[in-house]
A = this chain, B = another copy of it.
Amino acid sequence: MQVDVGVFGATGYAGREAVRLLSVHPRCRVAFATGRADGHVSHEEGLSRRADAYLLALPHGVSGSYAETLRASFPAAAVVDLSADLRLPTAAEYAAWYQHQPPAPALLGRAPYGLTEWSRDAVRGARLVANPGCYATAMALPLLPLFAAGLVEDDVVVDAKSGATGAGKGPREDLLFCELADDFSAYAPGRSHRHIGEVEAALFAATGRRPSLTFCPHLLPVKRGILATLYVRTPHPAAALREAIAARYAGERFVHVVDAPPRLSDVAHTNDSRISVHDGGPGRVVVFSAIDNLGKGAAGQAIQNLNLALGLEEGLGLPSLSGGRA
């Protein structure tokens, strides 16, 4: 039986990637795609089209109300929201990070936070899933097992670097080829990026601890991929932390602990995460975490969650590389 999926926001980078992945998915097909381009229907029209599942790749502040409408109109359908609108547990946290009220406050805390390897049971069969942010996924995958095992202190530094698809497709002057090529810089230094909130909430939910991350995102002159370099304080050697992460993800199909620092090309065009762990200066361990921001960081993980929500095998239609590079 074929599953009909409606994709909202299919002309943006995450939505386009979702359409591409679904086009080779053995069980799903794209019933319709909304967006500003030929071959797409309007967002409005999409809201009245019945499908078995919906992927929302719309801007935050908008996406949440679409989720609400679709839930009401088609209660049997599964909805995966790639925006931030359903990720935070309370309206207060949402408003603090996004400087406006959440568009669907009634849904906050009711959709599982779909970092799949940590919320598999809640996502299975769910009708609504909050898909994590790209940076949040890259950070949370190594941090959750380390905090859960009590191996690290609260003083965590994350220096993250993202490909430019993470900044979206809006025609901004600062995103022009001639502005980004050959260049590199940080933005939102320190404590201002919104993905901090969802990682801290996820850590609190999983471990009861509320560390205060220092997080600096940087923009790479590449199209896709995130490398997060995490500096954790710990009395333990790197080997102990590596072991804890490897044990937690043993048997996972998409999360791999590797020896050498992972490269973007190891994970590009896949749903994989690669993590390596190394000794730093005294009391410091360095952790590298690489994902494709459009794969495990957005559309890939959304389909992983969709598969679970629909009762399908979790990895269906999702590319992974055990050995070679993409």
Interface set of A (CB-CB < 8 Å, partner B): 13, 16, 19-20, 23, 39, 155-157, 159, 161, 164-165, 169, 171-173, 175-187, 189-191, 212-216, 218, 220-223, 225, 227, 229, 231, 233, 238, 261-265, 268-269, 278-284, 286, 288, 290, 323-324
Q: Is the CB of B216 within 8 A of A186?
A: no
- Contact indicator B155/A190 (Cβ below 8 Å): no
**Interface pair B264/A182, CB less than 8 Å apart:** yes
Which residues of the partner chain B approach A227 to less than 8 Å between Cβ atoms? Answer: 184-186, 218
Question: Which residues in B have their C-beta under 8 angstroms from that of A20?
Answer: 324
User: What is the CA–CA distance of A178 and B265 in the complex, to the nearest angstrom?
Assistant: 11
| Closest B residue by C-beta to A227 | B184
| CB-defined contacts of A263 to chain B, threshold 8 Å | 183-185
Residues of chain B contacted by A262 (CB below 8 angstroms): 185
Contacting pair B324 A189 (CB below 8 A): no
A169 and B159: CB pair below 8 A? no
Q: A159-B229, A214-B280 are in contact. Are A183 and B323 (CB under 8 A)?
A: no
Q: Is the CB of A279 within 8 A of B181?
A: no
CB contact between A177 and one of B216, B218, B221, B261 (< 8 Å): that residue? B221
Tell whether, in the assembled complex, residue B169 and residue A171 are in contact, meaning their CB atoms are under 8 Å apart: no
Residues of chain B within 8 A (CB-CB) of A16 are 324
The 5 closest A-B pairs by CB, nearest first: A214-B280, A185-B263, A159-B159, A214-B281, A177-B180
Q: Which residue of the partner chain, among B172, B220, B269, contacts A220 with CB atoms under 8 Å? A: B220
B288, A155: Cβ atoms closer than 8 Å: no
> Are A165 and B184 neighbours in the complex by a CB distance under 8 Å?
no
Which B residue's beta carbon lies closest to that of A188? Answer: B261
Write the nearest CB–CB distance from A155 to chain B, whole angstroms. Answer: 7
User: Inside 8 A of A282's CB, which chain B residues have their CB?
Assistant: 212
A157–B261 touching, CB < 8 Å: no
Contact of A186 among B221, B233, B261, B283 (CB under 8 A): B261
Contact B281 A213, beta carbon cutoff 8 Å: yes
List 21 A-B pairs, Cβ < 8 Å: A19-B324, A155-B233, A157-B231, A159-B231, A169-B173, A171-B176, A176-B177, A177-B177, A182-B222, A183-B263, A183-B264, A183-B265, A184-B220, A184-B264, A185-B227, A185-B288, A186-B229, A186-B261, A189-B261, A216-B286, A221-B221
Could you tell me if B323 and A288 are in contact, using CB atoms closer than 8 angstroms? no
Find out whether the CB atom of A189 lies under 8 angstroms from the CB atom of B278. Answer: yes
* CB-defined contacts of A220 to chain B, threshold 8 Å: 184, 220-221
Q: Are A176 and B178 in contact (CB under 8 A)?
A: no
Contacts of A157 in B (CB 8 A): 157, 231, 280-281, 284
Q: Give the one of A13, A157, A238 with max B CB within 10 A.
A: A157
Residues of B within 8 A of A261 (CB): 185-187, 189
Question: Considering residues A171, A225, A288, which has the most beta carbons from chain B within 10 angstroms of its beta carbon?
Answer: A171
Question: Which chain B residues lie closer than 8 Å to A269 at the CB level?
Answer: 269
